[in-house]
Amino acid sequence: MRARIARAAVPPESGALRERLDALASEAATAMTELRELARGIHPPALAQGGLLPALNALARRSRVPVRIKAPAGRRLPEPVEVAAYYVVAEALTNATKHAEASIVTVEVEIDTTPADAVLRVQVRDDGRGGAHFTGGSGLLGLKDRVDTLGGRLALHSRPGTGTAVLAEFPLQHTA
């Protein structure tokens, strides 16, 4: 709110400053929303109510980088899997915004229902600078732990210059 008040006081000729204050205001608003969701017990409301796809759509709407989502509608998955998959996409999207200078992020969700080993596959790809790694922050490592805990695996493909892909796979049999 203070950023918006400051913005209103900026003379029209200082366009760049206005834009920066706008960006500050919307980032602060996003942070507030995420904090509230976290405080309500980790599960964003859209996830608990509607499942993975509506929750991903909500993430995409808030994202500063355009997001394209390909995901099957309707089917609910075991709650721990939905929550972990959501956080994989949220962190990968935040990283793409913070580090990648990407112009688009693609999220693909697919459920492989081969009866012997049903698997949820989530892939988040950006077309940015690449060069992501598991050291230096806690985001990607935290995701890896989260996915490992559910018996899944997380892979990172990110050669410099070729964008970044985060791929998570979750077994659905044991968690069902």
99 or 146: CB nearest ligand ATP: 99
Record the tokens describing residue 18, joined without a space. 């206005």
Strands (E), 7-152: 67-70, 105-112, 119-126
Position with the least CB separation from ligand ATP: 137
12 or 161: CB nearest ligand ATP: 161
How many CA atoms lie less than 13 Å away from 84 in the CB half-sphere? 28
Give the one residue of 128, 130, 139, 163 binding Mg ion; rule: CB under 5 A. 139
Record the tokens describing residue 152, joined without a space. 């899944």
Cα separation, 99 vs 103, in Å, equals: 12
The contacts of residue 32 (CB under 8 Å, 6+ apart) are none
* Interaction of residue 126 with ligand ATP, rule CB under 6 A: yes
* Interaction of residue 138 with ligand ATP, rule CB under 6 A: yes
The one of Mg ion, ligand ATP, none whose footprint includes residue 99, by CB under 5 to 8 A per kind, is ligand ATP
Q: Tell which positions 18-77 bind ligand ATP, by CB under 6 A.
A: none
Position with the least CB separation from Mg ion: 139
* Interaction of residue 140 with ligand ATP, rule CB under 6 A: yes
